[in-house]
Amino acid sequence: MSFQPVYIIDGARSPFLKARNAPGPFSAGDLAVQTGRELLLRQPFEAPQLSEVILGCAAPSPDETNIGRILGLRLGTGHKVPGWTVMRNCASGMQALDSGVQAIQTGRSDLVLAGGVDALSHAPILFSDDMVHWLATWGKARSVGARLKALRSLRLSYLKPVIGLLKGLTDPVVGLSMGQTAENLAHEFGITRQDMDEFAARSHRLTLRAQQENAFEEIVPLSDTRGNSYPQDDGVREDSTPEKLAKLRPVFDPPWGNITAGNSSQVTDGAALLILASEAAVKEHQLKPIGRIVDAQWAGLDPATMGLGPVFAATPILERNRLALNGPDLWEINEAFAAQVLACRAAWDDQQWCQQHLGRDALGLLDMDKLNVDGGAIAIGHPVGASGARIVLHCLKALRRRNLRLGMAAICIGGGQGGAMLIESLQGTES
């Protein structure tokens, strides 16, 4: 596959705000607009000069169904700039970037605003099917007698709410929650509870260090209508040690499972946006690219082991670009679950598994010193629609801070898929 140059001009993300059993202070649209407004204000072009707006969102609210179009209009692109929304579960934000890449490579677009958003704290609470059927019966009742009969048929059990987010995180084909698919991987590769908790603690430790070093300079602070400011990710915890994490109970497969809330990604609200440009747009607007998308790949696999998606997606990129597993200077693998990331490392290092599933020899063991060097979704959070864009953006920022060149961002996808992007930093360390 031959890529024409597709440049990353700039990027920004909101703080990732942990869901706390109630709707958060921002809708998905608010998150994307505040992030996008700040990003566009830094550019030498105006919003109407964009070719299109592409936004990934896994759980748009009913009043923001095509949230990509809403974002464009609220940012002032005008009526003529099209905006649309993509959905590839956890990789929706990465899919938006890839859609922008394809539009630029085919010559249909020159300047694209792309990324992802989700406000998972606003995920709907639904009526049960029984209650919906009862409401239909009630709606048809016209006489007093018919309504009394309908009222007598109403059961309190019908009022039990259905958590929309939990339904969305359960695979309808294999009937497993995402956490149960991670349990499958832990069993297959012998990953222990201690392994998971140590990896989770590492995520919090590295994120805290990155915050102290101002390593998340891509974050745009948010302000709500009450004047409250949200300057940084709020889910990271100083007390997330292996010892404390070990006390948490399994969530997805009790009592014998090992996946807990502590070694899983957090349910979060957040947005991440990037500006992509063709070579022609770079020259026309005198832009200064900070990076380049070198290659991208999507892959499918068994939904019951969906966490191995990064292995299936990133390996072909490595092969096409003649890179060893540790050839990229940095890796970002979205931390859906600690077990899932550890299983990816184990799979690449397993000769039998690689021969059976990849048709090649094992690639070796991924260097932990190159992986998620500023922490990951276990500490930062996983707003599903935004995470694929976040890991691409932060991988590039982390490369630039370290004066490194090549990075790989990879993500597992509910439903049994994987996505990966190889990116290149085009400048040295930022001042």
Active site residues: 90, 382, 412
Q: Residue 222: helix, strand or coil by DSSP?
A: strand
Residue with tokens 């976040």: 390
Structure token pair of residue 311: 């292995």
Residue with tokens 């209009």: 73
Determine the Cα–Cα distance for residues 76 and 60; give it in Å rounded to an integer.
21
Distances (CA, A) of 412 to 48, 309, 352: 34, 4, 22
DSSP string, 161-216: -EEHHHHHTB-TTT--BHHHHHHHHHHHHT--HHHHHHHHHHHHHHHHHHHHTT--
Provide the sign of the torsion angle of the four alpha carbons 67, 73, 76, 82, taken in this order: positive
Determine the Cα–Cα distance for residues 141 and 153; give it in Å rounded to an integer.
13
Distances (CA, A) of 318 to 57, 99, 313, 323, 408: 28, 21, 9, 5, 9
Cβ neighbourhood burial of 210 (10 Å; 0-12, 13-18, 19+): buried
Structure token pair of residue 356: 């059976």
Determine the Cα–Cα distance for residues 322 and 427; give it in Å rounded to an integer.
23
DSSP string, 236-278: --TT--HHHHTTSPPSSSTTT----STTBPPPEEEEEEEEEE-
Determine the Cα–Cα distance for residues 346 and 354; give it in Å rounded to an integer.
10
Provide the sign of the torsion angle of the four alpha carbons 318, 187, 120, 245, taken in this order: negative
Question: Beta strands 417-425 and 406-413: pairing type?
Answer: antiparallel
